[in-house]
Structure 1
Amino acid sequence: MITALFGNRDYLRLFTAQVSALFGTGLTTVALGLLAYELAGADAAAVLGTALTIKMVVYVTVAPLVAAYAGRVPRRSFLVGLNVIRAGVVLALPFIDQIWQIYLLIAMLQTASAAFTPTYQAVIPDILPDEREYTRALSAAQLAATMETLLSPMLAAAALSVISFHWLFVGTAIGFAVSAALVIATRIPSATAAHGSLRERITVGMRIFAATPRLRGLLGMNLVVAAAGSVIMVNTVNYVRDTLGGTQSGVAMLLAANGFGTMLVALSLPRVLDRAGARPVMLTGAATLITGLGAAIALSLANAGDWRWGAAIAVWATVGAGTAAVLTPTGQVLRRSSRPADRPALFAAQFSLSHLAWLITYPIAGWLTTAAGFTTTWLTLAVLAAAGITVAVRMWPRRDPDELTHLHEAGTIDPALLTDAVRVDDRFYRHTHAYVIDAEHRRWPTEAERELAAA
């Protein structure tokens, strides 16, 4: 059970810190969309698209640099300082009156977030070394994100009935401040420092991604999530206000429907993952996202009518369900694919590469909607999602065991690492163990090489 994890006080504090920061961020998601609409009106989608594109550029470029130094700074102090920075930035957002100011503050806010998130993600497996506990922690993390998606818009809708949306930014700052206080009270183990030059430390995560088949498949999944998620993040405000004729509360309601779909799936995933494994669950989630995009396209072609509200709620919830099925097992896949010393770099690489997919889809959702409307935009995103799931199926082999039998050439590896290997001849050793890309295993063995090693 997920609740059994909370007996670990350090994990409980970190989880609560995550929830606090997430709820603050959720309020900003609603408020930023309304701020863009206040300043830009019908062009709000283009403004949001640009702001979120800036966010993605920062995420793609900053995270690998941070990972290179992750083992060389006290992680607790680092996380606290980043939360303080984020709180200060969001407190400035209610006072802006120019669109360019949105772009500047978003760049500052997301630079801190790009440093915070992968560092936080890499801490959790150090606190929970047991695989089953970590799997449940991943579901708890997704559930927390889901509850934020569900409840933050509801809280925002209630608040907007009595206050201006500008005050929602104050709620965000409070969330970051509470998160910082909880991290201060948490015992966070020191990181295992990766060795090598700065260039090697920056690129090691990308190298592991490029060489590991299941991670190449994960890249395709990232594109599917981004294609469907950009519809939710960028287009909800304009779809509700301009097509459905809804109010600020209507925006919050659709975002809450998306969160409700995510919550239903996240609650059921721990047992499903134990039984089925990550690959079938994530592929099912990707297929669900493509189904949601297809339904959104059909909805964009529909004639006016109040029934569209119910249909939109169902579509937004379907996208939420598919997102949970893909994102929840991702940390498990990353942990399985790396040594502890390389884990911060791999989490940072996933952070950057997943947001590179958003960097592609956010401008499409923002700028193409303004120029060509919802139908053309959502059809384009559906094509990208179909390409993503095709990559995932082709790159991630159906048979993907943890342990691989492979050959090492004598003289190319420290003999101390081959104490349990079998000498085949004067040239090769046969070795079987959990296989990941690292300093001793620079590439993935081919099927022919594995068959030769097993012979």
Structure 2
Amino acid sequence: MRLFAIRDYRHLFAAQVIALFGTGLTTVALGLLAYDLAGPRAGTVLGTALTVKMVMYVLIAPLAAAYVDRLPRRTLLVLLDTVRGAVVLALPLVTEVWHIYVLIGLLQAASAAFTPTFQAVIPDIVTDDAAYTRALSASQVASTMESLLSPVLAAVALTFMSFDRLFLGTSAGFLLSALLVLATRVPDARPSAHTRAWDKAAAGIRTFLRTPRLRGVMALNLVVAAAGSIVVVNTVNHVRDQLGGSQSAVAWMLAASGTGTLLTALALPRVLDRVAARTVMMTGAAVLVAGTGAAVALVAAGLLTWAGTAVVWTAIGVGMALVITPTGKVLRASVARNAIPEAFAAQFSLSHLAWLLTYPVAGWLGTTAGLPVAWSVLAVLAGAGALAAPLLWPRHAAHGTVPSAVASSVTPARHTRQTSGPDPASLSKAA
């Protein structure tokens, strides 16, 4: 099945790309706004805003999953895009730093509800397993392209406009994303097996805790966050302070990691047709541990040069793609179809909980104790996650069936395979 021959998927993918680039431009503009308001304290302002973002992601995603089956999903997605557009439109009007925190909290709360809901829609639209694998790769490619191109687009735009105009463009992007979703036939979520909101919110977390492969995914989330925090948080200080590079050099070094992620994500669909997701993800964890270990050894010895940094950063990008890209396939194979929103919301929340742990290590510890100390701690966390993952997700569990707690809800799907897609129990073989 040709992925982009599916009309509804084309619309949703276009909406995702537009919203992603809007978010990227907002990130650049927010940094300039923070500097405009706080000057030398801009880093503290951005760090606090980033913490607010992670807290919203951890808390809101499970709650969104609890109520997603009570609302038409298309209406919910359009509403959340509209809220994000309105919040971004208000950002250039702020006059106090605390205004930024409030608006970022609202923006990220909407994003925390939007993203897992959006992710859970895709397997209901793309029901062919091979095409769904390519949809996961396409999402990873889109995210990577955003991280590579958004700073470039912002730099070009800032040559002929002030940074507050970037917010206007971003707001328009969110509204265009809403229109694309509105033009898409989005199936409503299947009724959850849980009736109480708290049970629904906690259901995805409980599924992760009792399912071996999902426990392994939680450990792999820590590996990704530990290695990724080095790139996301410390690139600017390492390039500017240690290597004496310019602002553009920071962007190019970030692009090195993004290029590794992009090329790997493009190659993975064919690999995942032949190789089990567990094997690919464990390989990614090994690459990330090797990357963080090399970063620690080289920076401690004063040998992390331009070339060495580029190689290590690229390796980290490759490892992140190897772990992240197959995750959706594993989630889809691990739960009944009516539990997919809960599973995606739980993964969204748990993965960002790992980032909430590693961001302060990279940022605050890196500032107070130095990069070698901070990276050593992150390397230990990455190693711990990589060691725990195969223990929590043993090889014999790679081809298990849907957890028994949801097995009863799988049965109806077997009778509606022509309209609802493959049975999750059969899909588990692909993971």
Q: 2:59 aligned to 58, 61, 73, which one?
A: 61
1:440 alignment counterpart = none
Aligned equivalents of 1:322, 1:203: Cα separation in 2: 30
Instruction: Name the CA shift for 1:297/1:96 in 2 (closer, same or farther; >3 Å).
Output: farther
Q: 1:94 aligned to 78, 81, 92, which one?
A: 92
Cα distance, 1:284 vs. partner?
1.2
User: Are the aligned partners of 1:222 and 1:357 in contact in 2 as well (CA < 8 Å)?
Assistant: yes
2:418 alignment counterpart = none
Instruction: Name the CA shift for 1:406/1:138 in 2 (closer, same or farther; >3 Å).
Output: closer
Instruction: Name the CA shift for 1:245/1:300 in 2 (closer, same or farther; >3 Å).
Output: same
Instruction: Name the CA shift for 1:218/1:338 in 2 (closer, same or farther; >3 Å).
Output: same
Are residue 350 (structure 1) and residue 341 (structure 2) matched?
no
Are residue 434 (structure 1) and residue 412 (structure 2) matched?
no
Cα distance, 1:134 vs. partner?
0.9
User: Structure 1 length normalisation: TM-score?
Assistant: 0.83
Q: How does 1:45-124 map to 2 (within 5 A)?
A: 45-96=43-94, 98-124=96-122
Q: How does 1:399-418 map to 2 (within 5 A)?
A: 399-403=396-400
Cα distance, 1:373 vs. partner?
2.0
Aligned equivalents of 1:92, 1:406: Cα separation in 2: 45
User: Are the aligned partners of 2:229 and 2:359 in contact in 1 as well (CA < 8 Å)?
Assistant: yes
Aligned equivalents of 2:161, 2:13: Cα separation in 1: 30
SS of the residue corresponding to residue 132 of structure 2 reads helix
Unaligned runs of 5+ in 1: 418-432, 438-455
Cα distance, 1:369 vs. partner?
1.9
Question: Which stretch shows the higher mean deviation, 318-327 or 151-160?
Answer: 151-160
> Aligned residue pairs: how many?
414
Instruction: Tell me the amino acid that sits aligned with residue 259 of structure 2.
Output: F
User: Are the aligned partners of 1:241 and 1:247 in contact in 2 as well (CA < 8 Å)?
Assistant: yes
2:206 alignment counterpart = 207
SS of the residue corresponding to residue 245 of structure 2 reads coil
Instruction: Tell me the amino acid that sits aligned with residue 15 of structure 1.
Output: F
Q: How does 1:322-401 map to 2 (within 5 A)?
A: 322-401=319-398
User: Structure 2 length normalisation: TM-score?
Assistant: 0.88
Instruction: Name the CA shift for 1:252/1:303 in 2 (closer, same or farther; >3 Å).
Output: same
Aligned equivalents of 1:238, 1:33: Cα separation in 2: 15
User: Are the aligned partners of 1:149 and 1:258 in contact in 2 as well (CA < 8 Å)?
Assistant: no
User: How big is the alpha-carbon RMSD for the aligned residues of Structure 1 and Structure 2?
Assistant: 2.9
Question: Which stretch shows the higher mean deviation, 251-260 or 102-111?
Answer: 251-260
2:286 alignment counterpart = 287
Cα distance, 1:330 vs. partner?
0.5
SS of the residue corresponding to residue 188 of structure 2 reads coil
User: Are the aligned partners of 1:90 and 1:109 in contact in 2 as well (CA < 8 Å)?
Assistant: yes
Cα distance, 1:177 vs. partner?
1.9
Instruction: Tell me the amino acid that sits aligned with residue 397 of structure 2.
Output: D
Cα distance, 1:317 vs. partner?
2.1
Q: How does 1:148-159 map to 2 (within 5 A)?
A: 148-159=146-157
Aligned equivalents of 2:404, 2:35: Cα separation in 1: 60
Aligned equivalents of 1:6, 1:407: Cα separation in 2: 35
1:187 alignment counterpart = 185
Aligned equivalents of 1:314, 1:98: Cα separation in 2: 41
SS of the residue corresponding to residue 69 of structure 1 reads helix
Cα distance, 1:140 vs. partner?
1.0
Aligned equivalents of 2:126, 2:212: Cα separation in 1: 26
1:243 alignment counterpart = 242
Identify the structure with the greater helix proportion.
2
Instruction: Name the CA shift for 1:88/1:247 in 2 (closer, same or farther; >3 Å).
Output: farther
2:316 alignment counterpart = 319
2:253 alignment counterpart = 254
Cα distance, 1:239 vs. partner?
3.1
Instruction: Name the CA shift for 1:315/1:159 in 2 (closer, same or farther; >3 Å).
Output: farther
2:416 alignment counterpart = none
1:429 alignment counterpart = none
Q: 1:10 aligned to 8, 14, 17, which one?
A: 8
User: Are the aligned partners of 2:62 and 2:346 in contact in 1 as well (CA < 8 Å)?
Assistant: yes
Cα distance, 1:254 vs. partner?
2.3
